[in-house]
Amino acid sequence: MNSRKLMVATLFLAMFVQGIQAETLQIDGSTTVGPIAEAFAEYFKGIYPDLEISVKKTGSGDGAKALGDNMCDVAAMSRFMKSVEFTKCANKGIMPVAHVVAMDGICIIVHPSNPVKALTTQQVQDIYLGKISNWRQVGGSNLAIVPVSRDTSSGTYETFHGLVMKKKDIASKVEYVNANPQAHARVSGNRGAIAYVGLGFVDKKVKVLSIDGVVPSKRTIVSGVYPVARPLFLFTNGYPKLGSMVHRFVTFHLTEVGQELVEAKKFVPVTDY
């Protein structure tokens, strides 16, 4: 009898304490930034067991909308907010503030046996437009070029389409694969192939081309010298209150663990040392 009373009391107390401590953190947005946010969230769950944290991967546009509607604390976006989105938020009294969590650098890769070492952005664009169809035209051997692209719904495609293709339509003969490892496999298995993958997916089985004379590396990507790279954002409503959970979350990429997690997700951490 007594012990049961004690149990009920403990349970009640536990619920009460939980009610005070339970903090929620909702993240919504880009499928590209999603993996980083998820990795952070996973780590946060470990250190703050009472924190209720959820990550939705809906798309940059949906993230911006959710922030404007006050449906999330952090909006993950692979691009900056468009002026329309920004105005919508501002009209509802929400001031979006951008935090750059990582850089997405995209490497143009070819088969290791390919003698071509460098291309310009224009040449890469012409290859994917179908204007250049043989490696001889860009100083290589007489071999047909097999351009490989990521599927149009991927963030990598979005970056490539914006920065290299300048939003022009890719030729219809271009092949599509739906993951970075597949693009890598296609290039390492075909002497004429060319593809683009995130910096984290590059290894010895493929050769990275320098673009406009710049070899992609963490340094060149973060400093902005390499042309095919973009920042990835987390947006909050105003600058979060210092020390709050939102503040800890959007500054987590500055910590050592945060940077390791960013790198584990094949992105480039924002540092310059």
Residues that bind another protein (CB under 8 A): 31, 59, 61-62, 143-144, 146, 151-154, 157, 161, 167, 169, 172-178, 182, 185-186, 189-193
Give which of 112, 110, 115, 111 is closest to 141, Cα–Cα. Answer: 115
Q: H-helix or E-strand containing 10?
A: helix 2-21
How many Cβ atoms are within 10 Å of 84's Cβ, its own excluded? 9
Closer CB to another protein, 9 or 144, in the complex? 144
Looking at the Cβ atoms of 21 and 141, the one nearer to another protein is: 141
Neighbouring-strand partners of residue 150:
177
Q: Residue 62 or residue 85: which is nearer to another protein going by CB? A: 62
Backbone angles phi, psi at 92, to 5 degrees: -95, 10
**Rounded CA gap, 155 and 161, in Å?**
10
At closest approach, how far in Å is the CB of 152 from another protein?
A: 4
Q: Angle 188-194-197 (CA atoms, 0-180°, nearest 5)?
A: 80
Comparison of 31 and 237: residue with beta carbon closer to another protein: 31
* Three-state SS at 116: coil
- CB of residue 27 to another protein, shortest distance in Å: 17
Q: How far is the CB of 198 from another protein (least distance, A)?
A: 16
Cβ 76 to another protein shortest distance, Å: 14
Rg of the chain in Å (alpha carbons): 23
Pick between residue 193 and residue 222 the one whose CB is nearest to another protein. Answer: 193
- Rounded to a whole number of angstroms, the minimum distance from the CB of residue 40 to another protein is 21
Q: In this structure, are residues 76 and 34 in contact, taking their beta carbons and an 8 Å threshold?
A: yes
Residue with smaller CB distance to another protein, 120 or 134: 134
Least spacing, CB of residue 179 vs another protein, in Å: 11
Cβ neighbors of 14 (< 8 A, separation 6 or more) are none
Q: Do the bridges between strand 24-29 and strand 74-77 make them parallel or antiparallel, or are there none, so unpaired?
A: parallel
Smallest distance, another protein to C-beta of residue 212, A: 24
Q: Which is nearer to another protein, 103 or 145 (CB)?
A: 145
Residues belonging to the chain:
273
Sign of CA dihedral 59, 161, 115, 189: positive
- Burial status of residue 176 (CB atoms within 10 A of its CB: 0-12, 13-18, 19 or more): middle
